[in-house]
C-alpha cells in the first residue's frame, strides 16, 4: 500500500508484482511507481507482456502475487490493442454515449460531447455508422473517443498508433496531452521507439523485467544494446523523420 501522504501524487504503484495468466507467468518482480498526470510509455518486443501489464493495471486480469495499487481504479479508460473488442454500441454515437449514460450525463451534454470528439478526429460522418464496419484505424479512434468522452483519471492505451495515419497520430498525442492538463495520467504501450519520444518517461520491458526507466531521449542510444536483434535498429535521423 502507498503511504497516505503520497496518495494524491501516485497513480499506480506496485511492489514485487507478478503478472500473467493462470497457465503462464509473464513477468515477476515488477516495482513501478507512476506519478499522477504523467505520460508514460511502456515499450517492449512482441510477446513480452505490455498488454498483460495494462490489463492487470485495469483490474481486468488479477495479479498473480505482490502488491498493485491503482489510486482511482473505478475511473480508468482503456483503448484495447484490438479496439473491435470493446465495441458496446450498435452505432458509433451509441458506443460513445454508453459510458456517459451510465454516469447519468444529461442528454444534451452527451450529444454535445459526441459531436465534439467526432469532429476533433474528423469522423463526424461516421456518427450513425455500425462500429463493426469501421476500418481498424477508425475503430482505434472510436475507442479513444469513447474513453476521452468520460474524462478518466487514468488512461491506458495499448498500441494506439498501430493502425493510425500520421495526422491522426498527432491528434491522438494532442488529446492525451489535453487530458493530462485536466488531471489524467496516461500509460501508453508501444512497440516502436519513435512512439515514445513525445512522452515524459519510458519504461522498457524485457523478459527479465524492467530494462530501462528514464527519459525517451536517453533510451535512443541504448535501444539496440537492450533489445539486440528483437527490434529494428533505428537511427536518430530515422526517428526524427518518423516523428
Ligand atoms: N490469455 C492468455 N493466456 C496465456 N498466455 C497468454 C494469454 N495472452 C497472452 N499470453 C502470453 O503472455 C505473453 C505476453 O503477452 P502480451 O500480449 O502481454 O505481450 P505484448 O508485449 O502485449 O505483445 P504484443 O506486442 O504482441 O502485443 C505472451 O507470451 C503471450 O503468448
Ligand atoms: Mg500487446
Task: Please name which of 68, 31, 32, 25 lies closest in space to residue 48, comparing C-alpha atoms.
Answer: 25
Domain of 67, CATH number, reads 3.40.50.300
pLDDT in tens, 132-190: 999 999 999 999 999 999 999 999 999 999 999 888 999 999 999 999 999 999 999 99
| Ligand closest to CA 45 | 1
* Same domain for 160 and 240: yes
Domain stops at, among 151, 176, 201: 151
Q: What number does the ligand 1 atom closest to the CA of 44 have?
A: 21
- The total of structural domains in the chain comes to 2
Among all bound ligands, the one having the nearest atom to the CA of 26 is: 1
Give me the domain span that covers residue 119: 77-151
Residue nearest to ligand 1 atom 16, measured at CA: 49
List the one residue out of 129, 108, 104, 103 whose CA is nearest residue 118: 129
Neighbour tally for 193: CB within 10 Å: 24
What percent of the chain is predicted at pLDDT more than 90? 83
Reported confidence tier of residue 4, pLDDT bands at 50, 70, 90: very low
Which ligand 1 atom is at minimum distance from the Cα of 205? 21
**Residue 225 confidence (pLDDT):** 84
- Are 161 and 61 within one domain? yes
Residues 159 and 70 reside in one and the same domain: yes
Integer Cα distance of 21 and 159 in angstroms:
21
Contact yes or no for 14/68 (Cβ under 8 A) = yes
Single residue among 151, 186, 208 that ends a domain in this structure: 151
Residues 113 and 33 in one domain: no
Q: Is the domain of 158 the same as that of 242? A: yes
Q: Which of 126, 151, 176 is the last residue of a domain?
A: 151
What share of the chain has pLDDT > 70, as a percent? 90
Tens digits of per-residue pLDDT, 10-30?
999 999 999 999 999 999 999
Using 50, 70 and 90 to split pLDDT, how confident is the model at 239? low
Amino acid at each position: 500500500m502507498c503511504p497516505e501522504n503520497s496518495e494524491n501524487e501516485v497513480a499506480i504503484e506496485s511492489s514485487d508484482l507478478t503478472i500473467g495468466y493462470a497457465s503462464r507467468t509473464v513477468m515477476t518482480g515488477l516495482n513501478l511507481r507512476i506519478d499522477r498526470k504523467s505520460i508514460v510509455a511502456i515499450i517492449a518486443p512482441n510477446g513480452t507482456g505490455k498488454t498483460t501489464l495494462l490489463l492487470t493495471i485495469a483490474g481486468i486480469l488479477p495479479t498473480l502475487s505482490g502488491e498493485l495499487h491503482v489510486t482511482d481504479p473505478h475511473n480508468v479508460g482503456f483503448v484495447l490493442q484490438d479496439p473491435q473488442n470493446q465495441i458496446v454500441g450498435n452505432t458509433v454515437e451509441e458506443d460513445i454515449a454508453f459510458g456517459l449514460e451510465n454516469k447519468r450525463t444529461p442528454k444534451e451534454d452527451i450529444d454535445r460531447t459526441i459531436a465534439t470528439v467526432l469532429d476533433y478526429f474528423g469522423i463526424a460522418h461516421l456518427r450513425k455508422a455500425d462500429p463493426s464496419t469501421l476500418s481498424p484505424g477508425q475503430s482505434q479512434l472510436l475507442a479513444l473517443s469513447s474513453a476521452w468522452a468520460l474524462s478518466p483519471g487514468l488512461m491506458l492505451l495499448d498500441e494506439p498508433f498501430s493502425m493510425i495515419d500520421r495526422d491522426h497520430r498527432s491528434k491522438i498525442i494532442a488529446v492525451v496531452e489535453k487530458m493530462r492538463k485536466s488531471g489524467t495520467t496516461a500509460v501508453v504501450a508501444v512497440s516502436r521507439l519513435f512512439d515514445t519520444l513525445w512522452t515524459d518517461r519510458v519504461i522498457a520491458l524485457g523478459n527479465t523485467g524492467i530494462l530501462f526507466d528514464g527519459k525517451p531521449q536517453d533510451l535512443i542510444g541504448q535501444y539496440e544494446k537492450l533489445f539486440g536483434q528483437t527490434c529494428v535498429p533505428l537511427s536518430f535521423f530515422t526517428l526524427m523523420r518518423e516523428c
